[in-house]
Amino acid sequence: MAAATITSKGQITIPVRVRAALGVDSGDRIEFVEVEKGQFVIIPATRSLQELNGRFKGRRKTAATIEEMDEAIAKGAAESL
């Protein structure tokens, strides 16, 4: 099992074995995704734009207006109450 210590600034050094398994290197971004309360997985956020090609097919072709965005935000806020 790999382990790390949190510094007083909240930083950690990810062990070499973990970095290698994730395929990340200095300067790469990672994401922490909560899978259960108090349990997270680490996901490399190093995808290229090429990998995302076609991911949004069939989605809206035009940009939303400010009014549409405001309406969607208000609707989401009302549903979360």
- CA distance linking residue 58 with residue 61, whole number of Å: 8
Say yes or no to pLDDT of 15 above 90: yes
Scanning the structure block, which residue is given the tokens 């809206």?
A: 60
Q: What does the pLDDT read at residue 4?
A: 92
Handedness of CA 1, 39, 34, 38 (dihedral sign): negative
Task: Judge contact between 24 and 30, C-beta under 8 A.
Answer: yes
Q: What does the pLDDT read at residue 28?
A: 87
Model confidence over 16-75: pLDDT tens digits?
999 999 988 888 889 888 888 989 888 888 766 666 666 667 666 778 889 999 999 998
- CA distance linking residue 79 with residue 81, whole number of Å: 6
**pTM value > 0.75:** no
